[in-house]
Amino acid sequence: MTSSAPTSGTLDVLVLGSGVAGLSAAVRLAAPLSPTGYGGDGGGLRVGVLTKAELSQSATRWAQGGVAAVLGGDEDSTDLHLADTLAAGAGLCDADAARVLVDEGPSRVHELIAMGAVFDRQPGGALALAREGGHSTARVVHAGGAATGAEVERALVDATRASAAAVLEEWFALDLLVEGGRCRGVVAMALDGRAVEVRATHTVLATGGAGQVFSVTTNPAEATGDGLAMALRAGVSVADVEFMQFHPTALHHPAMPRPLLSEALRGHGALLRDARGERFVDELAPRDVVSRAMAERMHEQGVDSLWLDATQLASFDSRFPTISAELAAIGLDPATDWLPIAPAAHYLSGGVLTDLWGATALPGLWAAGEVACTGVHGANRLASNSLLEGMVFGARLAETILDGGTGPTPTGVLAPVLEGRVEAVDAPQPPASGAGRPDLDGLDGLDGSGAPADVAKARDLLQRAMTDGAGVVRSAGSLARAGRVVAVLADAVSSAPADRAGGELANLLTAARSVLASATLRTETRGAHARSDFPESSEAWRCRIVHDGSERGTVLAPATGDPQDDTAGRSPR
Ligand code: SIN
């Protein structure tokens, strides 16, 4: 349904995607329609929000645990949050961007509360704070127990609907419009299937992640890497895509997306147990460490799932009502049953490179949220820093546009690219499709006609190949196997229909190629990227792998900034 159509002509800002990052930008940029709208003044710009599903149907609403921000507690400080973020990022965070994240987070949470979001509180009225893996103290605000994303999305959707933003639901962005070295909007497939140009002075990529590249994921079906692929096709730099984060405690169950058993359960004392019932890892370690330990234990014990033991948790049902209801629906009682778990693709830590204000390398194109690489996550995102990143950088880019910002600055992770401080390297070439045809059941059934059934089948084959070859632990051999499948699929479906399913498949294949190229190039283990053939981290690899859509990769020196510099990232543009 389209709740309000854009009038003809050029929009001031077109926001692609309707999760926390996109809507945090939209509500600040658009004029408020009613006094019940966003409590700020609203920017008064002509804004459109384009989303391929309904407005409220984004990955944000699936987020469970919460928003990490320093909102109370004598033991906590933004310096401590920064230190935890940098430690989780395994040497690849941009400290200036992470400083922005932790410093601006608390006020963005308060703004969201002013907008109407309701977070859980203690009996005395203070915000209830939970602890999650990688955090040195309790600092995660949450809603509905572990239904935080749903509440954040509800509040932002209400504020957007109460604004003058035009909303285009069930529209599918096909490609960026690039003219005269600037992004001028997109070509999109309208609700009726027509390809139309939606022109805008500024375009914001807030299209979310690419978890659907994998067969086992916590991401909804819409997470098909659309923004990442559009950026690559337009030659816009993306980085860190080898760092797909696998969440350790997805329920081992056929449902897709996989039901998540929030990290907050471990924060409350739930234990991880192997096939013999023994504990084997610190439950509160960052999630890359936990997922890797699980993968190794599963391999050693020849099993495809382990256990989360929450039997000793007091008040499970009242503290985690949505998880409790999901478990009850499939016949599991956390008071008596250990819960079967296995890692699942959860969050792309990299994405389209941005400066400290959300501008990409292409003037007129901005990015925020999971599609972006601001550098705050490095090689592994700290738990509950994702909603926070969307809130902080979505708002920040909106304020920058309102201040007259027009293009990128040499700051944050974008600085080395804009300043040419890069070392070009030959990226591994994807295998030719004829070379060593992979023995994956079903490949032979793809006839290259691009029939709809082929598209669904190809998506399934791609997902299985990526989970097998580019999962929690990879090697040169496993990545090459996945690469051969991707090459065959790309050939077989090159004439796929120009509908949404065909477009999503093309985007998934583009995202997969990028992940495989970076993962093959990075011959070390770091953060969420674990190589069985290179099990150690290497100082030589403390750099970012950047793609610009060509078949090359570029190795950069990391822009780490100075974690002690309080002014980092807050100087005027
Ligand atoms: C969780 O609740 O475990 C997921 C939150 C996150 O991805 O940070």
Residue 205 three-state SS? strand
What atom in ligand 1 is closest to the CA of residue 287?
3
- Please, which residues bridge with residue 546 across strands? 239, 554
Q: Which residue in 46, 117, 49 sits closest to 394, CA to CA? A: 49
Q: Which residue in 246, 256, 244, 291 sits closest to 511, CA to CA? A: 244
Asked whether residue 132 falls in the same domain as residue 117, the answer is yes
How many angstroms does the Cα of residue 387 sit away from the middle of ligand 1?
9
How many angstroms does the Cα of residue 153 sit away from the middle of ligand 1?
15
Cβ-contact 56, 157 below 8 angstroms: yes
How many angstroms does the Cα of residue 480 sit away from the middle of ligand 1?
31
Ligand 1 pocket member 264 (CB < 6 A): yes
Residue 387: inside a domain: yes
Kindly report the CATH number assigned to the domain that includes residue 147.
Answer: 3.50.50.60
What atom in ligand 1 is closest to the CA of residue 64?
2
Number of domains in the chain: 3
Please give the backbone phi and psi of residue 195, each rounded to the nearest 5 degrees, phi first.
Answer: -90, 120
Asked whether residue 268 falls in the same domain as residue 227, the answer is no
What atom in ligand 1 is closest to the CA of residue 68?
8
Compute the residue count for the chain: 573
- Predicted confidence at residue 550, as pLDDT, reads 67
Ligand 1 pocket: which of 20, 64, 326 to mutate (most atoms <8 Å of CB)?
64
Residue 170: inside a domain: yes
Residue 440: inside a domain: yes
How many angstroms does the Cα of residue 289 sit away from the middle of ligand 1?
15
Ligand 1 pocket: which of 60, 148, 262 to mutate (most atoms <8 Å of CB)?
262
Ligand 1 pocket member 237 (CB < 6 A): no
- Please, which residues bridge with residue 308 across strands? 272, 339
Q: Which residue in 50, 177, 66, 77 sits closest to 137, CA to CA? A: 77
pLDDT tens digits in sequence order for the chain, 573 residues long: 344 444 468 999 999 999 999 999 999 999 877 654 455 667 789 999 999 999 999 999 989 989 999 998 678 999 999 999 999 999 999 999 999 999 999 999 999 999 999 999 999 999 999 999 999 999 999 999 889 999 999 999 999 999 999 999 999 999 999 999 999 999 999 989 999 999 999 999 999 999 999 999 999 999 999 999 999 999 999 999 999 999 999 999 998 899 999 999 999 999 999 999 999 999 999 999 999 999 999 999 999 999 999 999 988 999 999 999 999 999 999 999 999 999 999 999 999 999 999 999 999 999 999 999 999 999 999 999 999 999 999 999 999 999 999 999 999 999 999 988 888 887 666 555 445 555 556 666 666 666 677 899 999 999 999 999 999 999 999 999 999 999 999 887 777 777 899 999 999 999 999 999 999 999 999 999 999 999 999 998 999 999 887 656 676 645 455 443 333 332 222
How many angstroms does the Cα of residue 66 sit away from the middle of ligand 1?
7
Residue 565: inside a domain: no
Ligand 1 pocket member 291 (CB < 6 A): no
What atom in ligand 1 is closest to the CA of residue 263?
3
Alpha carbon distances (Å) from 199 to 48, 306, 356, 452: 10, 50, 25, 30
Asked whether residue 94 falls in the same domain as residue 154, the answer is yes
C-alpha 337/C-alpha 76 separation (Å) is 35
How many angstroms does the Cα of residue 570 sit away from the middle of ligand 1?
28
Domain boundary among 342, 373, 398: 342
Ligand 1 pocket member 384 (CB < 6 A): yes
Domain boundary among 314, 342, 370: 342
Asked whether residue 259 falls in the same domain as residue 199, the answer is no
Ligand 1 pocket member 323 (CB < 6 A): no
Ligand 1 pocket member 65 (CB < 6 A): yes
Residue 3: inside a domain: no
Which of 287, 319, 396, 474 is flagged as catalytic? 287
Ligand 1 pocket member 386 (CB < 6 A): yes
Residue 288: inside a domain: yes
How many angstroms does the Cα of residue 249 sit away from the middle of ligand 1?
10
Residue 476: inside a domain: yes
Asked whether residue 135 falls in the same domain as residue 16, the answer is yes
H or E stretch at 155: helix 148-161
Asked whether residue 432 falls in the same domain as residue 481, the answer is yes
User: Using alpha carbons only, what angle is made at residue 234 by residues 226 and 408, rounded to the nearest 5 degrees?
Assistant: 100
Q: Which residue in 385, 373, 336 sits closest to 548, CA to CA? A: 373
Domain residues for the domain of 359 are: 10-242+348-418
402-441 tens-digit pLDDT: 999 999 999 999 999 998 888 888 766 655 544 555 555 6
C-alpha 333/C-alpha 255 separation (Å) is 18
319 in catalytic set: no
Asked whether residue 23 falls in the same domain as residue 146, the answer is yes
Asked whether residue 53 falls in the same domain as residue 159, the answer is yes
Please report the beta strands in 476-560, taking only residues with DSSP state E, as ranges in sequence order.
530-531, 544-547, 553-556
- Predicted confidence at residue 75, as pLDDT, reads 85
How many angstroms does the Cα of residue 184 sit away from the middle of ligand 1?
35
C-alpha 362/C-alpha 182 separation (Å) is 6
Asked whether residue 229 falls in the same domain as residue 125, the answer is yes
Domain boundary among 324, 342, 360: 342
What atom in ligand 1 is closest to the CA of residue 384?
8
Kindly report the CATH number assigned to the domain that includes residue 495.
Answer: 1.20.58.100
Kindly report the CATH number assigned to the domain that includes residue 311.
Answer: 3.90.700.10
Ligand 1 pocket member 349 (CB < 6 A): no
Residue 300: inside a domain: yes
Ligand 1 pocket: which of 60, 140, 148, 247 to mutate (most atoms <8 Å of CB)?
247
458-513 tens-digit pLDDT: 999 999 999 999 999 999 999 999 999 999 998 877 777 778 999 999 999 999 99
Please give the backbone phi and psi of residue 394, each rounded to the nearest 5 degrees, phi first.
Answer: -65, -45
Instruction: Compute how many other C-beta atoms are within 10 angstroms of the C-beta atom of residue 280.
Output: 16
Rg, C-alpha atoms of the chain: 22
Asked whether residue 329 falls in the same domain as residue 361, the answer is no
Asked whether residue 463 falls in the same domain as residue 395, the answer is no
Q: Are strands 306-309 and 238-239 parallel, antiparallel or unpaired?
A: unpaired
Ligand 1 pocket member 63 (CB < 6 A): yes
Asked whether residue 287 falls in the same domain as residue 388, the answer is no
